[in-house]
Structure 1
C-alpha cells in the first residue's frame, strides 16, 4: 500500500519526498492490444506515472446502458499500468474537455432541455450520481491505498474556465469521498486569477495547466497556493488539429527547454500528451471561439510518441532532460510496430444512401411538425435526415437553415442543390415546379464543442428551415447513427464502371465497399486521395471521418483491426468518389501541411482571445 500526500511544498510517497513524472495516454484513443506497447514506451522514456481521463460518453453511450469492455475497459488499462510498474493518475471528472466529443459528456443529456450542465443542478447531478455509482466502485480497489496503482483522482477539469459554482465542486468532491476514493484529490486549471478563483476548492489540492511561460505561470499559482507542491497537470508539448487548418508542430528543443525549466523550478509534471492516439468513430470534438472548428480524426498532438506509436525526436530530447534530473528508465524502448503497404483496394460495390430499402434498413422515419435536433430522438452521433414536401410553384427564392449543427447537404427531388455549413451558413437558391418537390436535408454532427461557454451544442437543425421568411413544417425525420448492426444490413450492388444519372459524380451520398487480402498483419494508413468527405470503416470498426479539406491526408489503421485473409473496407462518401473508385493502403502516415504552434495558444492567458 502506497499513499501520496504533500507537505511543505513537496509530494511525499509513503512519507518520502517524491516527484511525479507523468505522461498522458488515453485508453479510449488506443486499441487495447497496443496499451502495453504505449505504456512500456512511456516507462522507457523515464516516466514513473501515466495519466488518463475517463470519458463518460464512452461508458454510458445511451442513458442507463454501460460499457466497460474493449476500448472502454479502463480497469484493465489501469491494472496493466500497475503491472508494468507505473503509477496512475485518473481524471474521471464528468467533463474532461480533451478535444473529445462534448468534452466527454454524453449527448443524451441534451434531450433534457431543463438540465443545466456543470453546476449544482439537481437534475444534472442525478445523472452524474448514477454514472458514478457504476464507475467509482470499479476504481476504488485500484487505488494505491488498496494496493493498486492509482495515486490521485481529479475532482473536475479546468472548471475555472467555465464556471465558479463551488457548491458543485464540493458536491463532486463529496461524491468521490463517499464512494470510497481516499487517495489525493486535486483540481486543474489555467494559471490566471479568474480560473484559479473559479475552479479550486480550499481543501482540495490545486494544479495548473499550461505549455510555456513557466516562471510567470507558476508565480500566479503561488499567489493562491503558497505551501502546496508545484504540479503542472497538463504540460502542453504540442497541439491538436482542426479540419481546414494546418497540422500543428512544436520544436523538440523548445519542448525540452520548457520541461527543463519546470523541473528546475521543482515542479512535478504531466506531459499532455505523451501519446495522443486517435479520435476513432464519431468521438472527435470541436472548439468554438471566433467560429466553430471541428477536430480531426488524428489526435497525434505532435506528441513525443506519434499517433501510430513511433518515436519522434522529442523522445530523445525529453529523455535527456529527465536523465539530467535523475529520472532514467529501467527498461529498453520497445521496437516499432511494422507498417505495411497493402496497395490499392477497388471499392467495387455501392449502396445508395437514399435508396428506400437502405434508408429503411438504417432507420425508421418519425413524423414531426417541427424540426428537432437529434438528441430529441435518442441519437448522439452520426447523421440525421430531414425530409418534407415543398409546394410549388416557387421561383428564385432562398432556402435558409436556421442554426445548422454542423454541416447540411440539401437535395431537391434527388438532386444536390448545395451545402450549408455552420461556419458558412449562406442561404441556397431554390426554385420549385408547380407540382411541388421533395426536400431532403442530410445533416452531419461533426463533433460537439468540448471547451468554453458554448458546450451546450445540440446537433442537427436546432431552429428550423425556411424559404425566404416562411418556415416549413411537417417533416419526416430519420436518425442515422450508423452503428455496426445497421451497416451490416445494407444492400450493395456491383458497380458497372459507367457513370449513371444521379451517381456519386452528381453529389449523391453512398456507401462504397471493397475487400482485400492480408497475409501479414501490421499497421497501415488509408489514403483518401480523390475522395471528398465521409466516414471509413474497416471490418465494421469506425475509423473516423476523412475530408479533402485537410490537413489530415490518411487515416491510421492499427494492425489489430485487420485479420488474416479477407478484410472489408467501407466508405460513406458524401459527395463524389474518384472515377477509379479505389483507395490506397500505404505504410506512410500523412498528417498534412505543418505549421508551428503559436506560443499564445500554449498559455491559458491568451486562449480565449484566439
Structure 2
C-alpha cells in the first residue's frame, strides 16, 4: 500500500509538471501568434530602442501592402497565404473613406468593405497588421480616398483643421475606430501599429492638423504604436510628437539613413513604403522596376537592420471609377490596373520578384517558410458578340433627373444621391444654340468632354484643348456636352480644386451659354439594373455612339479568372453581371481588364459596355493580361 501511494504521488507530480510545461508552451505560442481570439496582452510594439520590440522581445517588421478594396473578397485569404509563404510577417492596408461613407452619414462596412473580417482573416493566417486609416490615403485612389461630397462646401479646405472638414472626419472616425479598437494587439487582435494620416509633409497646410488627427485616434481608444510616413523632403513637416516617423522610397541612399538617425536617434528605422514598382497613367507606357534592382535594395535595407514594408506586395485593381490622377503641369488619369509591377501580379500570380523576395526573407526566419499556395488556372473563354444596343440618348430616361439650371453645375453640387451630389462617371449638359462659331471652355471642363450638335459629334474639349468650332446651321439646335470625370487628383496641393463636370461657364462666341438641362450618368448599380430592363434593339452595323451594348459570356463549369480584351473599341466602361470592372481606352498602355472568377457564375453572364466613340461587336476573353509596352522606372 505504501509503495502504491508513493507511485501515485510520483505520477501526480509528473502530471502536474506536464500541465505546467504545456501551459508555458501555450503561453509563448499565443504571445508569438497574431490571434483572432480575445487574448489580453500588456506590452505591444515598442520603438524606444534601436530595434522594435513586441512583448519585450526583438521584432523586425517584414511587411507588405495588400488593400482589401482592390482585391475581391473571395481572394483575401489566398493573397495573405501567399504573403505568409513569401516570408512576410505583417500586412498593411489603407482604409478608403470614400467607399465607407459614399454619402454623408451613410456608412458601409459590409461584404467587400468588411474591414473587421479582413483584419481577422490576417490574424487567422498568422500575420500582424499595420493599419493606415487616413482619413487621406493617396494611393492613386480618387481624391486620395476623401469623399467627393466634402467638395459641396465651396470653402472646403481638405486636410486642415477647417471646421467643415474636422466635423466630417470626427463623424467618420466615430464609426471606423470602434471597429478597430477591439482588434488591437493589447486586446488580443493582430493590429500592432496605426499610421497617423499619410504623407502630410508633402501637403503641410496646417500645423495643427497632425496633432488633431493623433488626438482623434487616441481619444477613441487607439492604444498601439503610432507612426507617420513621408518621403525625405516631407519628413520633418509630416511628423507629430509621439509618433515614430518612417520613410518612403524606392532607391536607398546614405542620406536617407542619416536623415532617420539624426531625426530620431536611438529609434528603429523603417521604410514604410518601399516601392516595388510604380503605377501607370493613360497614354503612357507600363512602368516596371527590374527584379534584380528591387532585390538589391531590399537586401541592403535589411542588412542595415531596418524594418520594411513592400508597397505594393500585391497591387490589385482600381475597379469601377476609383482610379486617381496626377496633375504636375498637365493632368493625367491613372489606369484601372494597379498591378504596380508588384511581387504578386494583379491576378495574384507569382513573379520573379516574389521568388527573389521569398529567398531573401527566408534568411530572417528560424523555421522553414510555408509551401507556396497553388496558383489558380486562368481561362480563355469564347468570344462574346454584343448583339443588343441602346443609344445613350435613349438611356437618359433611366437616370436620376434631369435638372434645370441657368448656369452649369459641377458634379458634386448636383441635387442627386440624397443631395450628396454626383461622385463618379459622366454628366451630360444640354442647352439651345441658334448659331455656329467658336465654343470656348475657359478650361472649365473636368476632365474630358464629347461635344454634340443635335446628337452629332463635333469634337472634344479637355485640358489644354479649350476651343472647338461649332458648325453653322438653321434654326435652334441642341448643344450637348458629355463630361467624364476621369479621376480626381490624389496627391499634391490641388485637392481642394477637384470638382468635376463643368465647373464654370463655357462660351459660344465669347457669350456664356445659359439654361442647361443636366443629366447625371453616374452608372451606379441602380442605373445598370434599370438599363437591363430597357427595350434593347438588335445592334446595327453602324450603331449610334455613345451607346450601351449588351452581350453574353457563357461559362461552362467552374468560373475562372479571365481578362477582357476589346480590340476595335475606343473608350468606355465594362460591366459584368452588374459589376463595374472599370474603364478601357485604346490609347493604353493597359489593353486588358482583369475579370475575377468569383464575379462570374456557371452558365450565362451578362456583359454591358458603354462605348463613347467607336464600337466593335466582338469582345475577347483571354487567359493572359496585357498591360502594354513597358518602360523602366527612372
The verdict on how the C-alpha distance between 1:327 and 1:304 changes in structure 2, with shifts beyond 3 A counting, is farther
Inter-partner Cα distance in structure 1 for 2:304 and 2:573: 46
CA distance in 1 between partners of 2:481 and 2:366 (Å): 57
Alignment of 1:402-417 (within 5 A): 402-417=443-458
Aligned to 2:117: 76
Number of the residue aligned with 1:387: 430
Distance 1:329 1:428 in 2: 65
- Pairwise CA distance, 1:328: 6.0
Which blocks of at least 5 consecutive residues in structure 2 are unaligned? 1-40, 415-420
* Aligned partner of 2:598 among 534, 545, 560: 560
Secondary structure in structure 1 of the residue aligned to 2:429: strand
User: Structure 1: which 5+ residue stretches go unaligned?
Assistant: 599-610
User: Does the CA contact (< 8 Å) of 1:389 and 1:438 recur in 2?
Assistant: yes
Q: Identify the residue that residue 17 of structure 2 maps to in structure 1.
A: none
Q: CA deviation at 1:496?
A: 5.2
The aligned counterpart of 2:69 is 28
> Which among 71, 74, 90 is matched to residue 131 of structure 2?
90
Structure 2 CA distance for aligned equivalents of residues 76 and 388 of structure 1: 49
Q: How far apart, in 1, do the equivalents of 2:364 and 2:303 lie? A: 8
Paired position in structure 2 for 1:608: none
Name which of 397, 407, 413 aligns with 1:376.
413
CA distance in 2, matches of 1:291, 1:223: 37
Q: Report the counterpart of residue 290 of structure 2 in structure 1.
A: 251
1:481 paired residue number:
522
What SS does the aligned partner of 1:343 have? coil
Mapped to 1, the partners of 2:501 and 2:466 lie a distance apart of: 17
Q: Within 2, Cα distance between the matches of 1:398 and 1:364? A: 26
CA distance in 2, matches of 1:432, 1:73: 56
Whether the aligned pair in 1 keeps the contact of 2:553 and 2:606 (CA below 8 Å) is: yes
Residue 517 of structure 1, aligned match among 547, 550, 554: 554
Cα drift, residue 469 of structure 1: 1.3
1:586 is matched with 622
Q: TM-score, normalised by structure 2?
A: 0.90
- Which string of whole-angstrom CA distances, capped at 9 and with x for unpartnered residues, describes residues 231-272 of structure 1? 100000100000100001111110000001101111100000
Structure 1 residue 204, shift from structure 2 partner = 1.4
Task: Find 2:151's aligned residue among 110, 125, 140.
Answer: 110
| Alpha-carbon shift at residue 164 of structure 1 (Å) | 4.9
* Alignment-derived partner of residue 387 in structure 2: 348
Give CA-to-partner distance per residue, 1:363-418, whole Å, 9 cap, x none.
311111111210001111111110000123x3x43443532111100000110000
What secondary structure sits across from 1:271 in the alignment?
A: strand
Going from structure 1 to structure 2, the CA distance change for 1:497 and 1:480 (only over 3 Å counts) comes to closer
- Give the Cα–Cα distance (whole angstroms) in 2 for the partners of residues 118 and 152 of structure 1: 22
The residue correspondences of 1:438-477 to structure 2 (distance < 5 A) are 438-456=478-496, 457-477=498-518
2:402 counterpart of 1:365:
yes
Shift of 1:563: 0.4
- 1:470 to partner: Cα distance: 1.0
Instruction: Give deviations 1:520-568, integer Å, cap 9, x for gaps.
Output: 3100000011100000010000000000010000000000000011100
The 3 A distance-change label for structure 1 pair 57 and 426 is same
Name the structure 1 match of 2:14: none
2:504 counterpart SS class: strand
**Partner of residue 314, structure 1:** 353
Q: Following the alignment from structure 1 to structure 2, what is the Cα–Cα distance between the partners of residues 471 and 275? A: 48
1:449/1:496 CA distance change after superposition, 3 Å? closer
TM-score (norm 1): 0.94
Work out the number of aligned pairs and report it: 583
Aligned partners of 2:337 and 2:346 also within 8 Å: yes
Q: Which has the larger radius of gyration?
A: 2
* 1:180 and 2:221 matched: yes
Alpha-carbon distance, 1:225 to partner: 1.3
Alpha carbons of structure 1 residues 197 and 496: separation in structure 2 relative to 1, 3 Å: closer
Equivalent residues of 2:226, 2:242 under 8 A apart? no
Contact kept, 8 Å, 1:386 with 1:478, in 2: the verdict is yes
Q: Deviations over 1:124-157 (max 9, x none)?
A: 0000000000000000000111000000011110
Q: Please say if 1:295 is aligned against 2:331.
A: no
